[in-house]
Amino acid sequence: MSTKSKRHVRYPIPRSRRRSTPGAPPGSIVVHEDALPSRMNVLAYGPDDVESAEDISLEAIPGLLKRWPVVWIDVTGLGTAAVIEGLGRIFRLHSLALEDVVNVHQRPKVEDYEDFTFIVCNMLNAEPALATEQFSIFVGERFVLTFQERPGDCFGALRERIRHGRGRLRKGGPDYLAYALIDTLVDNYFAPVERYGDLIEQLELLVVERANKSVVRQIHAARRDLFLLRKTIWAQREMLAALSRDAYVGFTETTQIFLRDCYDHTVQLLDMTETYRDFATNLFELYLSTVSNRMNEIMKVLTIIATIFMPLSVIASIFGMNFNTETSPWNMPELNWYLGYPFALLLMALVAAGMLVMFWRKGWLGGDR
């Protein structure tokens, strides 16, 4: 990214605020008016084979659960209540958990139910602008059910690993798939967060070279976005701490070892965001210091100019007093000198030069003396 483009980068994080109607019964599934229609994609696999399909129906799911050890159903869009309710019946999901799926204002969390574990994460999308969306995961026996608000995610490489049998995904159970999804979500934070480090370095150069209101606005925007990122990562860290420490339905101790590594990644992300946020705060102080120094330089120049002109003004005012020399020989005899005018100019030049030399010797003109 060029220096010019980095100066004007702005990374807003839109925050969705969809909630149930006040007074609605607990567990009500009320889809939001701007939610996209729900589409289900499936990726079912075992150690030796894999099956994938797009836009499947609810009727096809029971057969997949019978044939495959692990079935990953990814629901894109939260605008079709019938699909969400149908999945709840098939997998016997609690109505309160389904309500949390459609009301996408949830903090990252993990909840343990009788037959499944419910996890809420925040997925970070970097293009075209930085934004977060809620990513919900249900983990149970033989299945992983995920919900995302809109098409497009960061799981392309993960799906390819499953299809081509790379790594241990095909040999693991639903809990390991859930770990792989969360780990991908966490790793997807690193590039945007590191981008803020580059942005702050560019802003630091701009503050030192030519601080202006535009730079201040960019610093403020970076601080705001880093604060929101820190808030999201902090909650995600707490969720992973609980998931890697406590016993939850469907999660084995082996998978919890991997989850502890994922927890370490969130701690690293949190350190990065806090460091960059501190740098952004320090940039404000650097900006104020730079503006103050520039103002001092301007005031110093103006003071030197005014100081030089003070004795020159005295000389000019004395020679400007038009007393009549015919009345008294003491009334400005210099007015009748043949070289009076050149003498006055020379006197002014000598006084100005002498003062400049004195200022230079004292180091008031930027010298070291």
The mean of the pLDDT values for the chain is 83
| Residue ranges of the chain assigned to CATH 1.20.58.340 | 296-361
pLDDT of residue 19: 56
Residue 57's pLDDT band (boundaries 50, 70, 90)? very high
- Per-residue pLDDT of 283-323, as tens digits, reads 877 877 777 777 777 787 778 788 888 888 887 777 777 76
pLDDT higher than threshold 80 for residue 330: no
Residue 50 scores a pLDDT above 90? yes
Sign of the Cα torsion 247, 251, 255, 260 reads: negative
Q: Would the pTM count as exceeding 0.85?
A: no
pLDDT at 6 over 50: no
| Three-state secondary structure string covering 307-344 | HHHHHHHHHHHHHCCCCCCCCCCCCCHHHHCCCHHHHH
Query: CB count, 10 Å around CB of 195?
Result: 17
pLDDT at 76 over 90: yes
pLDDT tens string 237-262:
999 999 998 888 889 999 999 999 99
- Each residue of 258-284: pLDDT tens digit? 999 999 999 999 999 999 988 888 887
Which strand ranges, in their side-by-side order, compose the sheet holding 70-76? 50-53, 39-45, 70-76, 143-148, 131-140, 116-125, 109-112
The pLDDT value recorded for residue 21 is 62
pLDDT digits (tens, 9 = 90+) for 173-226: 999 999 999 999 999 999 889 988 888 888 888 887 776 778 888 888 888 888
- Joined together, the tokens standing for residue 317 give 């005012």
pLDDT for position 1: 36
Q: According to the model, what pLDDT value does residue 3 have?
A: 37
Q: How far is the CA of 212 from the CAs of 203, 209, 219, 290, 322, in angstroms?
A: 11, 10, 11, 10, 51
Q: What is the rounded average pLDDT of the residues 328-353?
A: 77
Q: What is the pLDDT of residue 282?
A: 85
Residues of the chain with CATH 3.30.460.20: 3-288
Query: Would you tell me how many other CB atoms lie within 10 Å of the CB of residue 200?
Result: 23
Q: What is the largest CA-CA distance in the chain?
A: 127
Residues 249, 115 contacting (CB under 8 angstroms): yes
**What's residue 5's pLDDT?**
36
Between 13-17, 42-46, 71-75, 124-128, the lowest mean confidence (pLDDT) is in 13-17
Which of the four pLDDT bands, split at 50, 70 and 90, describes residue 13? very low
Q: By the 8 A CB rule, do 290 and 298 touch?
A: no
Give dist(CA 307, CA 364) in Å, integer.
12
CATH level 3 topology of 3-288: Beta Polymerase; domain 2 (3.30.460)
Q: What percent of the chain has pLDDT over 90?
A: 40
Which residues are within 8 A (CB) of 249 and not within 5 positions of it... i.e. 6 or more apart?
Answer: 112, 113, 114, 115, 116, 117, 139, 140
Residues 114-140 have a mean pLDDT of 87
Give dist(CA 97, CA 264) in Å, integer.
27
Distance CA 243, CA 4 (A): 43
Place 346 in a pLDDT band, splitting at 50, 70 and 90: confident
Could you say which of 3.40.50.620, 3.40.50.720, 3.10.20.30, 1.20.58.340 is the CATH number of the domain covering 296-361?
1.20.58.340
